[in-house]
Amino acid sequence: MAVSTNKGGVLKTSITTNLAGVLSGKGKVLIIDSDNQGNASLSFGLIPDEFEYTLYDVLVNGVSPKKAIVKAHDNIDILPSNDDMAFFEFDVLTQIDRYPHPFSLLRKMMDGIDSEYDYILVDTPPNIGLTQGNVLSYVDDVLIPFQPENYSMRSLIKILEAIESFKKDHNPKLQVLGIVATMVDLRTNLHTDILQECRKYCSEHHIKMFETVIPRSIRFASSIAYDGLPATLTDRDNPVIQSYFELEREICFE
């Protein structure tokens, strides 16, 4: 499953890592971090610049994913990224003779690795480009975070269009798992109104929007800053953190 949208600052990494924390109690989890900021690794106290191999080496240089995957926590591994991924699109598209199928690199390199994990979650960059294309060509499902702010509906429609395009051209099995509202403050009329608009749009277009919402809270950042772990691994009894457990139950992972 990819956690994906073309908008930054909407808790993609928080959703990815905290869901990994929830799912690690049920099976073995792999996080693929495809964002050059490397925030998924930082969420577990790992330093992106210190990795010998990263996703970039896997996709561009053909390094086996097994050499790049690192242990992050009990039952959680990460295929990390760092600043090298910022050059991925340029390095591949300027050597198209070497990479004749540029959107299939991740799918090809992960062949055979999938069976070693019960869950694979992919954190994505906040744009629609070659990296995002590789992710959409590889995953089965996409969970789309939705922050109820001005212009959010426009971003949502754009990522839905991109997913539909990739489904037709590259990955027939690709599905939108659903939309989850993030950084929500229901005390504000703006958030309430935009959430109603989004739910109406999803209903009209037969897209699932989860009842669970992820509230705006400093608790998620505090857990990483002080504990070096996602909050679902450190403070699961906190009512705010319970939103991720509720989301996992609502998704109903198999």
Instruction: Give the separation between CA 182 and CA 216, rounded to whole angstroms.
Output: 7
Question: pLDDT tens digit string along 57-68?
Answer: 999 999 999 999
Tokens of residue 75, six digits: 């039952």
Which has the higher per-residue pLDDT, 208 or 150? Answer: 208
* pLDDT for the residue numbered 8: 82
Over residues 202-222, mean pLDDT: 86
User: What pLDDT was estimated at residue 254?
Assistant: 59
Flag the least confident range among 1-5, 94-98, 149-153, 209-213. 149-153
Taking residues 125-135, what's their average pLDDT? 92
User: What integer pLDDT is reported at residue 219 of this predicted model?
Assistant: 59
Least trusted range by pLDDT, from 81-85, 132-136, 237-241: 237-241
Tell me the C-alpha distance between 220 and 42, whole Å: 13
Rounded Cα distance, 226 and 112, in Å: 37
pLDDT of residue 225: 62
pLDDT at 28 over 90: yes
Return the percentage of the chain with pLDDT > 90, whole number.
75
DSSP state of 231: G
Does the pLDDT of residue 189 top 60, yes or no? yes
- What's the pLDDT band for 236 if we cut at 50, 70, 90? confident
pTM of the model: 0.94
Predicted confidence (pLDDT) per residue in 68-104, tens digit: 999 999 999 999 999 999 999 999 999 999 999 999 9
The confidence score (pLDDT) of residue 163 equals: 93
Say which residues have a Cβ less than 8 Å from residue 16's Cβ, sequence separation at least 6.
3, 31, 40, 121, 122, 123
Environment class of 62 (CB within 10 Å of its CB; exposed 0-12, middle 13-18, buried 19+) = exposed
Q: What percent of the chain has pLDDT over 70?
A: 96
Across the chain, what does the average pLDDT equal? 92
DSSP string computed for 83-151: GGGGGHHHHHHTTTTT-SSGGGHHHHHTTTTGGG-SEEEEE--SS-SHHHHHHHHH-SEEEEEE--STT
Q: What's the pLDDT band for 237 if we cut at 50, 70, 90?
A: confident
pLDDT for 41? 95
